[in-house]
Amino acid sequence: MTAKIEYKYDDMIHRCFRCGYCKFPADWSDVTNCPSYARFRLESYSSGGRLWLIRAWVNGEIEWSENLAKIVYSCTACKNCEEKCPISFSDNLVNMVIAARSAMVETGLLPSAVKSFLKNVHLHGNPYGLAGKKRSQWMEGTGIEQYQDQEFLYYVGDEGSYDTRAQSAAKALGELLLKAGVSFGVLGNQEISDGNEVETLGEDGLLEELAKKNIKQFKDLGVKKVITLSPHSFNVFKNSYPKFGGEFAIFHYTQILPQLFQSGKLEKPAGLNMKVTYHDPCFLGRWNGEYNAPRTLLKDLDGVELTEMGQNKKSSLCCGGGSGNFYTDLLGGSEDSPARIRVRQAHETGAQVLAVACPNCLTMLEDAVKVEGLEEKLQVKDISEILNGSE
Amino acid sequence: MNSAIYKSLVEIVGEDYASDRPEELFTYSKDLGTSEPKWPDYVAAPKSVEELQKIILLANEAKISIVPLGGGLSLAGIALPLHGGILIDMKRMDEIIEVNGKARYALVEAGVSQGKLFAYLKKHHPTLAHSLPDAPPAATIGGNIAIHGQGDLAHPHGFNSDMINGLEVILPTGEICRFGSCSIGSGWFTQHPLPDMAFFLGWGGTTGIITKVSLRLFPCKKIRELDMLVVTDEELVPDIFHEITHVGMTEDLVVFSQAIPPMTDRLHHIINNISGDSEEELEFKRRLIYDDRLSKFIEQGTVGIVATSQDLEKPSVTKTADWRKGGGFEYVGSVFPVAAYPELYRKGVEISTRHEIPYTVTGRVIGANHAIMFSWSYAFNRADPKSVQHANEALHETDDLVLEFGGTIWKPAVYGQQIVMKHMDANTLALMKKLKNMVDPNNIMNPGNWEVA
């Protein structure tokens, strides 16, 4: 059969056997570790089902449709499938989905929410469609300075800048860095989207545009080291920007803070008495292999008992917000939405606090706690907030 | 397409779990093996027995076929909608209802995956195990017994469908029936007083849909190890099995031979799983098997022990599908007396060679050497129609071979079913037809499978 649509993985995609390992965590405890399959429970939404559909579309066996696009874009790029697939091509499973999205972008055939996300980033530099001049409102009165020639650039990202809940984490981290006397500054209203979601949504052109703009700005300002609030920013800066000539030392904040505590520049918060479970963000964990730094921070705190959910580290269940889904919400609206499953898993541990290290996860999981009616039993907090003693 | 049926399905299971959209219909039209796609008209994924019952009543009213699907891993196209209709994905019915540790059984909904039950027992009842098939963990408990599946406790306890204490089944006309002690309200601990469950086991969903299963569990020892022996002469394999099974110390006894990797070519690898709660118990078992029963072979140098005390790894047959970087394989399973192994192996090599497929054969001892489940696997490249055709021809040829050599086909595809029925006693066939017509007067349950002419 001749491929009707140009597709980068045309010589590979047929190798998916659709055996279903991709649905599971490492211990096989349930088929719900693939966020989109957990939500819809139809084979078309499993990783294998999606790949078979992509192949059929590329080969001209089926036509593009809104439903096909929804299936393709409901993948959160969490990489659970890549961890569990036993076949040697597993490293490319998410790339195969992203390549299909790129092909859809090429033809202009996208779900309306995805279109809106990309248009907003293109026009306003953020997916929310909010004015760039509002970007720095979160930092008013904090004493955080504009970046000039400090040692670190603190890159806040879209969620930390605009989302009310995530702003609290952005502030907490800023305050911690100030307390520790770290030489840092932010871009304020000059900051634009990092492009991580844009990349996984398949908009290669827009990624290139954002990356080049950011790289130019960073270089013009003399930035050498970047601290990110979001693992999404961390990921794209670290793994994709070098392709566009952007080589910087990139740190997720959980990788910087331990040394500040160890060196005595930061004091551990006092009076904590809580059982905490930690949710691994996909773009810090499975995408970049960083599982220990956040746990080290939590373990070292007096009065914190760290407990693990059954699905943790490489088997962590995604919050469902990855790859733009925090905005497009293709997985919402059900008790089987991954964020709701995840907070139930957290609640089962007996923890009072669900700790996260990602503004995306923070908003997704806090919303889920409310819908599940667990507000009195489970608080969702970013690690920066716990360390800063934020209420 | 009838929009009234779709609307009814949406009312029954909810909008998210019913579809008449091309993407879902395409997905469920495909089996993982060589079968041609067969498109359903609708897909529905019920959550409860009540929802499923409503779908069956709807199908009766509309005279439309229904095809239950578990993990979709039979590879033989058994759950393809040969006559369209409603494809029922059973995997949302996935509750582990009860584990009775003292009476050693688990009561589960049919859509529970093998992986989920395995993990649940490991976490909550580490001294209990069920017979885990070699299929990927997404295979379901209900689907597995509907095809007479077998797993890693087959030597001591037989086929997985021999390990049933009770069933709940929805008949093709919608009645919910229970079989075993549960039918008289006495719990789910034995298949008595009615031994009639066989009418649903192995029938591939043509006589009713299994909704609940009481599955026997067995002691899970603290240490489970894998030992591997190698034999160069296939003629010795039945004798070795006879000796090992004499002492009854083994959990699972499997032989395989395969062309790839080359170092395994024409050798017969016997995997012997043993278990113990202590090193002492394991050593006792090893002594009985290797020092007592197999010493003559070992001393003669006809059997080599290549590995002992290896960790028991979870099976991963998926890799079989990628031997040709082609994403596909299908196999013919059969049941034979163990003595047939040498000839079956040789025929497997011959057929594979003729079809330019690296040969892979596997056998698992069922019971105390009562039989062997022997399979010939044929890998193919899903992107190469010729390769798929070769595999398909090899499969049909192998189906014919099974009957010719006096065996039976295990979970046959439609072609295999037809040749089995061609060889079947006329009165047995007539009974099958009578029973099927009686329970399924509208012929809506997975039609095209086990269909007596």
Q: What does the pLDDT read at residue B186?
A: 85
- On whether both B265 and B354 belong to a single domain, the answer is yes
Contact A53 B21 (CB under 8 A): no
CATH number at residue B363: 3.40.462.10
CATH code of the domain covering residue B47: 3.30.43.10
> DSSP H helical segments within B248-316, as ranges?
279-286, 295-300
CATH number, domain with residue B184: 3.30.465.10
A194-233 core/surface letters (b: 16 or more CB in 10 A; e: else): bbbbbbbbbbbebbbbbbeebbebbeebebeebbbbbbbb
CA angle A329, A334, A336 (to 5 degrees): 105
Two tokens, residue A273: 């008495």
Cα gap B355→B397, rounded to integer Å: 10
- Is A323 part of any domain? yes
**ipTM for the whole complex:** 0.95
Hey, is the C-beta of B67 within 8 angstroms of any chain A C-beta?
no
What is the residue range of A170's domain?
114-259
- Express each pLDDT in B370-409 by its tens digit: 999 999 999 999 999 999 999 999 999 999 999 999 999 9
Task: Tell me what pLDDT residue B2 has.
Answer: 61
- Same domain, yes or no: B297 and B370: yes
Query: Which two structure tokens, joined as six digits, stand for A128?
Result: 């929310």
Mean pLDDT score, B293-312: 89
Phi, psi of B119 (to 5 degrees): -65, -40
Write out the two tokens for A152: 């670190």
Taking only the tens of pLDDT, chain A with its 391 residues reads 445 889 999 999 999 999 999 999 999 999 999 999 999 999 999 999 999 999 999 999 999 999 999 999 999 999 999 999 999 899 999 999 999 999 999 999 999 999 999 999 999 999 999 999 999 999 999 999 999 999 999 999 999 999 999 999 999 999 999 999 999 999 999 999 999 999 999 999 999 999 999 999 999 999 999 999 999 999 999 999 999 999 999 999 999 999 999 999 999 999 999 999 999 999 999 999 999 999 999 999 999 999 999 999 999 999 999 999 999 999 999 999 999 999 999 999 999 999 999 999 999 999 999 999 999 999 999 999 999 987 6
Residue B277 lies in a domain: yes
State the pLDDT at residue B197.
72
Give DSSP secondary structure letters for B298-361. Answer: HHHTSEEEEEEEEE-PPP-GGGGGGTTTSEEEEEEEEEE-GGGHHHHHHHHHHHHHHTT---EE
Tell the burial category of B9 from Cβ atoms under 10 Å away from its Cβ (0-12, 13-18, 19+): buried
For chain B, the domain total comes to: 3
The per-residue pLDDT for B331 is 93
- pLDDT attached to residue B198: 78
Clarify whether residues A184 and A125 are in a common domain: yes
Residues B323 and B259 in one domain: yes
Asked, for residue A154, whether it belongs to a domain, the answer is: yes
User: For chain B, percent helix, then strand, then coil, each to nearest 5?
Assistant: 40, 25, 35
Same domain, A224 and A356: no
CA distances from B328 to A351, B34, B319, B348, B382 (A): 45, 8, 10, 18, 6
Residue type, A134: K
pLDDT over 60 (residue B315): no
Judgement on whether residues B162 and B20 belong to the same structural domain of the protein? no
- Can you tell me the distance from the alpha carbon of B339 to that of B329, in angstroms, rounded to the nearest whole number? 27
Q: Which residues of B touch A84 (CB under 8 A)?
A: none
| Whole-angstrom distance, CA of residue B409 vs CA of residue B334 | 4
Helix, coil or strand: residue B91: helix
Identify the domain boundary among B32, B63, B89: B89
> Do A217 and A143 belong to one domain?
yes
Cross-chain Cβ contact A56/B26 below 8 Å: yes
Tell the residue number behind the tokens 């490319």, with chain if given.
A92
- Asked, for residue A382, whether it belongs to a domain, the answer is yes
Residues A130 and A80 in one domain: no
Q: Which 181-220 residues of chain B touch chain A by CB within 8 A?
A: none
| A94 and A178 co-located in one domain | no
Nearest-angstrom CA–CA distance, A154 and A239: 18
Same domain, A210 and A273: no
Q: Which domain holds residue B249?
A: 222-412
Closest Cα of chain A to B163: distance in Å? 22
User: Do B301 and B373 share a domain, yes or no?
Assistant: yes
Could you say which of A27, A41, A88 has the minimum Cβ distance to residue B17? A41
Residue B183 in any domain: the answer is: yes
Phi-psi category of A67—alpha, beta or left, where left has phi over 0 and alpha has psi -120 to 50?
A: alpha
Question: Which residue blocks in A108-179 are alpha helix, DSSP H?
Answer: 112-124, 157-162, 164-179
CA atoms within a 13 Å half-sphere pointing along the CA-CB vector of B231: 22
Q: Which of residues 58-77 of A touch B (CB under 8 A)?
A: 61-63, 65, 67-68, 71
Nearest chain B alpha carbon to A17: B327
In a domain, B448, yes or no: no
Predicted local distance difference test score (pLDDT) of residue A2: 45
Q: Are residues A129 and A254 in the same domain?
A: yes
Q: Do residue B318 and residue A87 have CB atoms under 8 angstroms apart? A: yes
Q: How many domains does chain A have?
A: 3
Q: Do B91 and A86 touch (CB under 8 A)?
A: no
Q: How far is B125 from chain A (nearest CA, A)?
A: 14
Q: State whether B132 and B24 are in the same domain.
A: no
Mean pLDDT of the region B119-133: 97
| Inter-chain residue contact A53 with B27, CB threshold 8 Å | yes
- For residue B325, is pLDDT > 90? no
A193 domain residue, yes or no: yes
B223 close to A (CB below 8 A): no
Q: Where are the beta strands (DSSP E) in A245-339?
A: 249-252, 274-278, 304-307
Nearest-neighbour CA in chain A from B105: distance (Å): 19
B447 located within any domain: no
- For residue A116, give the amino acid letter: S
Chain B residues with CB inside 8 Å of A100's CB? none
Q: Is B439 within the bounds of a domain? A: no
Q: Distance between CA atoms of A124 and A129, rounded to whole angstroms?
A: 6
> Do A129 and A85 share a structural domain?
no
Query: Which residues between 401 and 440 in chain B have a beta carbon less than 8 angstroms from any beta carbon of chain A?
Result: none
Higher per-residue pLDDT: A160 or B196? A160
Nearest to A16 among B113, B327, B329 (CB): B327
Residue at a domain's end among B60, B89, B118: B89
Verify whether the Cβ–Cβ distance B21 to A42 is below 8 Å: no
Please check whether residue B326 touches A, CB under 8 A: yes
Based on the domain organization, do A159 and A250 belong to the same domain?
A: yes
Picking from A110, A126, A151, the residue at the C-terminal end of a domain is A110
**Least CB-CB distance to B23: which of A18, A68, A89?**
A68
Q: What is the distance between the alpha carbons of residues B71 and B144, in angstroms, rounded to a whole number?
A: 9
